[in-house]
Structure 1
C-alpha cells in the first residue's frame, strides 16, 4: 500500500540508514525527514529543520503535508553522553542537571513528537511507530545497576509508550507502537563504550535499519505496545 514515512532525528546514523532504505522501497512514496539541520536531495524526501523545544515541535508538525497515509514513523532520538555528561557508575555521580538533560532528551522530547504527530497518523491504513528505547530501560532485566539517568529515562519512555498505546487503542486504532532496542550500534552515541562490546555485537547502522524495517513488517496490529530488540525478540518491561 502506498504510504508516507516520517523520520524524526533524521541526522542520526541509524535514521540516515533508514532513509536510504526507505527511498528504495516502491511502496514508500514520500519521506518526511525531521532534524535540526540535515537536508536531503532525493525527490522523495521533504526535509523539515527544527529545534526540539515544544513550540518548535508543534510548528514542525504543522508543516507536514501528506500525499499518502502515514505507514511508518521512526522517532530516533536520545542521548547517553554529552560534553561533561557521562553515564553514572555510582550513586555519588548523580546530578540533577544531568538527570534533567537525559530525561528531557530520552523521554520528554520523543513523547512530544508523538503528541503532535498523532493527528497525522489517524487513518484507515495501518501505521507503525518505532520509538528508540533500550534494553537497559527494562526494570525486570536490571541486574548490573549503574547508568542511573539513562536507565530511568528509557524506563520512563517505555511507560509513556505503554500509556500512549492504551489511549491510541481507543482514539487511533490503526496505530501500533514499538519501543525498539537497536543493540550497540557503531554511532557517536556508543563510541566511548565500544571497546567493551563482545565481538560480533557492534552493529552497523545499515544492519539495524534493515532489522527494524523487517520487524515492522511482521508486527501485528493488535492495539498493544511492543518492546522488542534488533533480533526481533521481545523484552520484558
Structure 2
C-alpha cells in the first residue's frame, strides 16, 4: 500500500477490536505519513461519535488540515447491547432498538462518507470501506432472524453502492466498498461464537491483516460491491 506523495489513512472505530488492530497494522506498515484513529471513547481531535454529525464534521476538518486521506475504513457495528440482542423472531421487534441499530450500522457510516469522501483526492486510487456482514446479503439469507442487524447491513450495502456511483463522477479511480471481516473474536461476536469452528474464528490482528490484503487487491471495477475477508464477492 505504498504511496508516492504524502497521504494519510483514517480508521473510524479505532477503539474496537478490529478498528484498533487496523490502526496498529497501518502504523506498523508505515505506508502512510499519518494514520488517524477516531472513536467515541477518545478525546480531543480523535473524538468521533457516529450518532453526532457535528463530531464527524470536526474529525473530517482535522484530517483535511494534513496529508489527504487515500484510505478510510469505517470499522464500527452494533449487534447487541446490555439487555438487547439480535431478534430471533417477529415478536422481538422493537422500534427503538431498530432505530438504534440502523443509526449505528447504516446512517453513521453514510455520514462518515458524507464528510470524508469530499476530502479524499480527486485523482488517483482511493479506497473508502465500511465493515458490513455476510448476513446483510439478501440473496444469501437462509436462516432469517436477526432482523435489525441483517436489514441495517443490507441498507449499508445499498448506501455504499449509491456512494460508489456518485464518487466515481468525482474521481474515476475511487473505490467505495463494504467488507465482511468474518467472525472475529471481539465483544460484538463473543455471545455467538459457540458454533463457530476454531479455524473460522479470527483474532483481531489476523482479521485486520486479511482486510488490508483485500483492500490492497481491490480493482476500480470492484467499487460499489461487498467482499469477504478472502476477497471473494458476496452478492447483495
Structure 1 and Structure 2 fold alike (TM over 0.5): yes
TM-score (norm 1): 0.92
Encode CA deviations 1:50-103: one digit per residue, 9 max, x unaligned.
Answer: 333122212222222454332211101110000122101111001101110101
Shift of the 47–62 alpha-carbon distance from structure 1 to 2, 3 Å rule, reads closer
The alpha-carbon deviation at position 223 of structure 1 amounts to 7.0
TM-score (norm 2): 0.92
Q: Tell me the equivalent position of 2:158.
A: 159
Q: Tell me the equivalent position of 2:39.
A: 35
Q: Tell me the equivalent position of 2:112.
A: 113
Encode CA deviations 1:120-144: one digit per residue, 9 max, x unaligned.
Answer: 1133231111100000000000011
Structure with the bigger percentage of helix: 2
Give the whole-Å Cα distance in 2 for the aligned partners of 1:20 and 1:31.
9
Give the whole-Å Cα distance in 2 for the aligned partners of 1:219 and 1:15.
20
Show the 5 A alignment for 1:30-109.
Answer: 30-38=34-42, 48-52=46-50, 53-109=52-108
Shift of the 137–223 alpha-carbon distance from structure 1 to 2, 3 Å rule, reads closer
Secondary structure of the 1:101 match is helix
Runs of 4+ in structure 1 over 6 Å off: none
Aligned residue pairs: how many? Answer: 231
Give the whole-Å Cα distance in 2 for the aligned partners of 1:196 and 1:223.
32
The alpha-carbon deviation at position 215 of structure 1 amounts to 0.9
Secondary structure of the 1:168 match is helix
Q: Tell me the equivalent position of 2:184.
A: 185
The alpha-carbon deviation at position 24 of structure 1 amounts to 1.7
CA contact under 8 A between 1:122 and 1:174: conserved in structure 2? Answer: no
Between 1:129-138 and 1:65-74, the stretch displaced more is 65-74
Q: Is structure 2 residue 146 aligned with structure 1 residue 147?
A: yes
Shift of the 223–188 alpha-carbon distance from structure 1 to 2, 3 Å rule, reads closer
Encode CA deviations 1:132-170: one digit per residue, 9 max, x unaligned.
Answer: 000000000001101000000000000001111111111
Secondary structure of the 2:194 match is helix
The alpha-carbon deviation at position 175 of structure 1 amounts to 1.8
The alpha-carbon deviation at position 197 of structure 1 amounts to 1.0
Between 1:22-31 and 1:131-140, the stretch displaced more is 22-31
Gaps of 5+ in 1: 40-45
Secondary structure of the 1:196 match is coil
Gaps of 5+ in 2: none
CA contact under 8 A between 1:106 and 1:154: conserved in structure 2? Answer: yes
CA contact under 8 A between 1:14 and 1:206: conserved in structure 2? Answer: yes
Between 1:199-208 and 1:179-188, the stretch displaced more is 199-208
The alpha-carbon deviation at position 17 of structure 1 amounts to 0.8
Show the 5 A alignment for 1:13-28.
Answer: 13-28=17-32
